Amino acid sequence: MDLPEGYSVKGEYAGNGRLVCKLHKSLYGLKQASRQWNAKFSEAILKYGFQQSGSDHSLFTKKTNDENFIALLVYVDDILLGSTSIQESNEVKEFLDSLFKLKDLGTIKYFLGLEIAKSPESISICQRKYTLDLLEENGLLGAKPVLSQFMDKPGKEHLTAAHRVLKYLKGSSGQRILMKSKSTLKISGYADSDWAGCPDTRKSVTGFCIFIGDSLVSWKSKKQSVVARSSAEAEYRSMASVCCEMIWIKSLLKDFGVKHCEAMNLYSDSQSAIHISKNPVFHERTKHIEVDCHFIREKILTGLIKRRHTSTNLQIADILTKALQPNQFYRLLSKMNIHNVHPAGSATSSDSDKV
């Protein structure tokens, strides 16, 4: 690297073009800067008495002798602080302000693209501002279409699909997830899958929803990494995915001081997948998914997971794996406690369309 203008080297290193400068302080913009900031912040907050979560390293918790609880969540340089004591929160802020340049934004209303509204009865979360910003960027009140699966050779049909997504967002920008304050802390999950839904690769899609009580806390829709040879296999792989997520959520609740001693309910509408989890004998139709079989069966035998059958009409994760008729689509949205508080017209063009 070149020395800054005005600096010169004397002695035996003079004239040597291969010089290295040692940085005593991480510079903003370097790829190591964010890692150094995280290491410095973590060291400081741990010295203050916080404990770092093993489930999520960006979460720090502290419990004082008088039973006050503090949770601190950090994302790069954005920090979210929650506590059962206002005094404890103020002390943490003062400590951080003494070490770093801190700006207190007050009670949370907007965090990482999420709008958060609180009341004594519930907390609701939405991304209305983020969605409207996307819509405004593109003349449709929408964002520039990005088709992550078809970036190589996007065609007209892909653009049409992207425009339909934007038109749906136009009518659903006010949708909020409602989390009620008076609810049980029982964890339950819904796992579903289509079979060979991708016309190009014939891979299936895993979809799952996980609830704590009546509150939706985790969901996913993702193409499976391998081709399933049967619908039962595709369903079983989705059950394995939701099991992992439910176990992680239980571990995260433990960091918040919440004990979850009951078995977690896992709902599936596939009788075949449920029978596989019950059958201790492997045969040629299931031996290629042996790892998933052992994983789920172990959690069932230890009492951690309890498998449940649900009808297809009540399978909430169905909304994440396939196209549905509008009535069923909005019925499942309601079961997920998703409500549109700012309706802006219909999301469908006709009653016969699928969402």
Asked if residues 309 and 274 have their Cβ atoms less than 8 Å apart, the reply is yes
Please give the DSSP secondary-structure letter assigned to residue 300. Answer: H
Asked if residues 316 and 335 have their Cβ atoms less than 8 Å apart, the reply is yes
Please give the DSSP secondary-structure letter assigned to residue 181. Answer: S
Q: Any idea which residue has 């002390």 for tokens?
A: 91
- pLDDT level of residue 7 (50, 70, 90 thresholds): low
Q: Which two tokens stand for residue 300?
A: 């069932």
Q: Could you give all domains of the chain from N- to C-terminal order, each with its CATH number?
A: 33-114 (3.30.310), 115-175+323-340 (no CATH), 183-319 (3.30.420.10)
Distance between CA 350 and CA 346 in Å, rounded? 9
Q: Give the mean pLDDT of the chain.
A: 81
Q: Any idea which residue has 């659903």 for tokens?
A: 172
One-letter amino acid for residue 352 of the chain: S
Give the other-Cβ count within 10 Å of 257's Cβ: 11
Read off the pLDDT of each residue in 218-225 and give the average, rounded to a whole number. 90
Cα distances from 275 to residues 117, 268, 272, 297, in angstroms, run 43, 11, 5, 11
- Rounded to 10 degrees, what is the CA torsion of 34, 40, 46, 49? -120
Asked if residues 350 and 188 have their Cβ atoms less than 8 Å apart, the reply is no
- The whole-model pTM stands at 0.74
Please give the DSSP secondary-structure letter assigned to residue 84. Answer: S
- pLDDT level of residue 261 (50, 70, 90 thresholds): confident
Q: What is the pLDDT of residues 185-210, one digit of tens each?
A: 899 999 999 888 887 788 899 999 99
pLDDT number for residue 354:
46
CA atoms within 13 A on the CB side of 27: 5
Q: State the first-to-last Cα distance of the chain, in angstroms, to the nearest integer.
A: 57
Q: What is the pLDDT of residues 275-326, one digit of tens each?
A: 877 665 555 555 556 666 677 878 888 888 898 999 989 999 999 998 888 8
Which value, in Å, is the radius of gyration of the alpha carbons in the chain?
A: 25
Distance between CA 131 and CA 338 in Å, rounded? 16
pLDDT number for residue 280:
54
pLDDT number for residue 143:
42
One-letter amino acid for residue 330 of the chain: Y
Length of the chain: 355
Distance between CA 245 and CA 210 in Å, rounded? 8
CA atoms within 13 A on the CB side of 273: 28
pLDDT number for residue 188:
94
Task: Write out the E strands in the chain.
Answer: 51-52, 59-63, 69-75, 78-83, 110-111, 114-118, 122-126, 175-180, 187-193, 205-212, 215-223, 264-268, 305-309, 338-340
List, in sequence order, the alpha helices (H) in the chain. 33-47, 86-99, 128-136, 156-172, 231-255, 271-278, 290-301, 326-335
One-letter amino acid for residue 35 of the chain: R
Asked whether residue 145 carries a pLDDT value surpassing 50, the answer given is no
Asked whether residue 350 carries a pLDDT value surpassing 60, the answer given is no
Asked if residues 306 and 277 have their Cβ atoms less than 8 Å apart, the reply is no
